[in-house]
Amino acid sequence: MHISEGVLSLPVLVTGWVGTGLGIGISLKKITVDEIPKMGMLAAVFFVASLIHVPLGPTSVHLLLNGLVGIILGILALPTLCIALLLQAILFQFGGLTTLGANTLIMGLPAVLAGYLFRLKPNPFWAGILAGLTVMTSALCAATALALSGEQFLNVAKLLVLAHLPVAGIEAVVTFFIITFILKVKPELISLK
């Protein structure tokens, strides 16, 4: 769900950068040295998972795993996803530098929300549901950004949401198994603060 350069309107771009800047500013105050290796590992997981694109009409779909990142990192998901998206924009031209703020907000806000909600009920089944909802929330955010940028993007926005329904199901299952494994083997990886 990388929105490319030249697609979003100026108000949407500015809103994306302001929201991302505020979110990263807040999250960096909470960072500890112990979190940095987890952030790096999860940035790499997100980076690789979202490189594999399956074309679907004028759009494409790919795994996001932003729900998993949010469940494990909480608010630190925002800078983690920003770094991964920045590297994808620079190395592979997925998204872009001007749209980095909007793309980070689209991926990061649902991830942070999933992390918060997981802490209310920390179990693998709930994690799977949250991961699926995170994909759909990100798709809706991207569709909204496109719709606010012009009527010509309405059909693509609708297709983007529909195309991510199967991705949401796949991510729910994948996240369920990953969180089940983590909670059995190394539960301290997930900070429940």
Would you mind telling me the total number of residues written for the chain in this entry?
193
For 29-52, what is each residue's pLDDT tens digit?
999 999 999 999 999 999 999 888
Q: What is the distance between the alpha carbons of residues 79 and 34, in angstroms, rounded to a whole number?
A: 15
Which domains does the chain show, CATH number per domain?
10-189 (1.10.1760.20)
**Amino acid in the structure at residue 5:** E
Q: Where are the beta strands (DSSP E) in the chain?
A: 54-56, 59-61
pLDDT on residue 147: 94
Whole-model pTM: value is 0.93
Q: What single letter denotes the amino acid at residue 71?
A: I
Which 8-state DSSP code applies to residue 152? G
Q: Report the mean per-residue pLDDT for the chain.
A: 93
Cα–Cα distance, 69 to 67 (Å, whole number) = 5
